Amino acid sequence: MKRYKITVNGQSYDVTVEEQGGVPAGAPVPARVPAPAAAASAPAPAAPVTAAAAGAPGAVKAPMPGTVISFKVSQGQAVKRGDVLLILEAMKMENEIVAPADGSVKTLCVAAGASVKAGELLVELA
């Protein structure tokens, strides 16, 4: 048993604490072994997501499942590499989907508000 004197809001208390398990009082404490460092200990800050084509040269596909919040381009509009095409909400985060290359918007393949799966075609560029 250990005795402690604790002060809470200016009031002093004498407390006796009894150990229920673990290391008995007076026994040597085993040394702590540090855990191996994780490859990525902290998540990287959110950055624009480049939806590179996996199929057709001008295909921009959803990099993750989510909901299309809004389009920032319209059909026929010229875009440059890195221009934001649309906002995709995934896990309560808004992700900017950007153009992987220069071109023009050929087709908007989904509607704003639509739920999409990973790999689903979002925009076709010409």
pLDDT of residue 82: 93
43 burial type by CB count under 10 A (0-12 exposed, 13-18 middle, 19+ buried): exposed
Report d(CA 124, CA 108) in Å as an integer.
7
Count of residues for the chain?
A: 126
Q: Which tens digit of pLDDT belongs to each residue from 77-97?
A: 999 999 999 999 999 999 999
Residue 54: pLDDT above 50?
no
Question: CATH class for domain 50-125?
Answer: mainly beta
Residue 38: pLDDT above 60?
no
Structure tokens at 25: 């009082």
Report d(CA 37, CA 53) in Å as an integer.
34
pTM: 0.56
Domain assignments of the chain as residue spans, ordered by start: 50-125
Report d(CA 105, CA 33) in Å as an integer.
56
pLDDT of residue 26: 62
Helices then strands, counting H and E runs in the chain, come out as: 0, 11
| Average pLDDT of the chain, as a whole number | 81
